[in-house]
Amino acid sequence: MKDRTPSITPSIAKMIDHSLLHPTLTDQDMARGCEVGKKYGVAAVVVKPYAVGMAAEILKGTDVAVCAVVGFPHGSSRIEVKVEEAKLACRDGATELDMVVNLGKALSGDWDYVERELKAVAEAAHRAGAILKVIFENDFIAADEIKIKLCRACERAGADFVKTSTGFGFVQGDDGKYSYRGAREADLRLMRENCSERVQVKAAGKVRTLDDVLKVRALGVTRVGATATEAILTEAEKRGLE
């Protein structure tokens, strides 16, 4: 299993989970994205479940992890389905899993269900030597109390990371248009403050520039989900940052 101890000052590249999750991405797009992750030596490449085997083959022999999403993007699958999805992903070569929590259950106050789900998937991941990141989808949560309870449930269940967003949690505004806020500073502070140092924090959603990455790193974030990986790391190289 990977060392779960967070680096105090992780390098920029090793903070990035290069995200390849848009539904329109073709196999060729996915392969090119894996090559980007390989070129820059990022922490992980995050792929759709069907593409785990392909990603594992491309990244073989590197220190870039293959991360599969589970219950993505809405988190509404049954516990048994999420566990099986986790097992299949690990069998195919994933060593990290990003799972969307059943937010409807959390908002309903059914914390027994939430913790059973978290524990079941965490145990499946850890048995396979993988780590588990739990996605809250904070744009759908108005009350900080729910986010705090989710942090504590993740801690008790043995999750390795808490994560802000999928990047697909679109909320309709008063103008009728859909958008998302992603990784907000207030949420990142809240999540960091309500987890022990054993549980790391991943910022995802609107982390698009090097300055964005540096800002969240200063808040205690050790991973970010990004699609603008090349631009971020090219800028880091220009500035002489690691």
Contacts of 125 (CB under 8 A, 6+ apart): 86, 90, 97, 131, 132
**What local confidence, expressed as pLDDT, does residue 9 receive?**
61
pLDDT at residue 20 above 60?
yes
Average of per-residue pLDDT across 191-214: 97
Q: Which of 16-30, 89-103, 161-175 has the lowest mean pLDDT?
A: 161-175
User: How high is the pLDDT of residue 177?
Assistant: 77
Q: In percent, how much of the chain has pLDDT > 90?
A: 88
The three-class DSSP label of residue 75 is: coil
- 2 pLDDT band, cuts 50/70/90, is very low
Residues in the chain: 242
CB 241 within 8 A of CB 233: no
CA-to-CA distance for 40 and 130, rounded, in angstroms? 22
- 206 catalytic? Reply is no
Cα torsion 227, 70, 177, 108: sign: negative
Please tell me the pTM assigned to this model: 0.94
What is the mean pLDDT of the segment spanning 176-190? 88
Whether 146 shows a pLDDT value over 90: the answer reads yes
Residue partners of 230: CB distance under 8 A and separation at least 6? 36, 40
**pLDDT in the model for residue 1:** 44
pLDDT at residue 174 in the model: 78
Q: Please say if the pLDDT value at position 141 is more than 90.
A: yes
- Among 38, 82, 147, 202, the one annotated catalytic: 202
Q: Which of 38, 82, 133, 163 is catalytic?
A: 163
Range scoring the smallest mean pLDDT among 11-15, 24-28, 84-88, 178-182: 178-182
Whether the predicted pLDDT of 237 surpasses 70: yes
pLDDT for 89 equals 98
pLDDT given for residue 59 in this prediction: 98
Confidence of residue 22 (pLDDT cuts 50, 70, 90): very high
Spatial neighbors of 54 by CB under 8 A, at least 6 apart, are 27, 30, 31, 34, 47
Answer yes or no: is pLDDT of 197 > 70.
Answer: yes
Q: What is the pLDDT of residue 171?
A: 79
Of the listed 92, 98, 160, 187, which one is catalytic?
A: 98
Give the C-alpha separation, 168 to 147, whole Å. 18
For the segment 25-51, the average pLDDT, to the nearest whole number, is 98
Structural class in CATH, domain 13-239? alpha beta
Q: How far is CA 217 from CA 35, 101, 105, in A?
A: 25, 24, 31
Distance CA 158, CA 122 (A): 6
- Is 211 an annotated catalytic residue? no
Does the annotation count 98 as an active-site position? yes
| Helices 111-127, 79-92: crossing angle, 10 deg rounding | 20
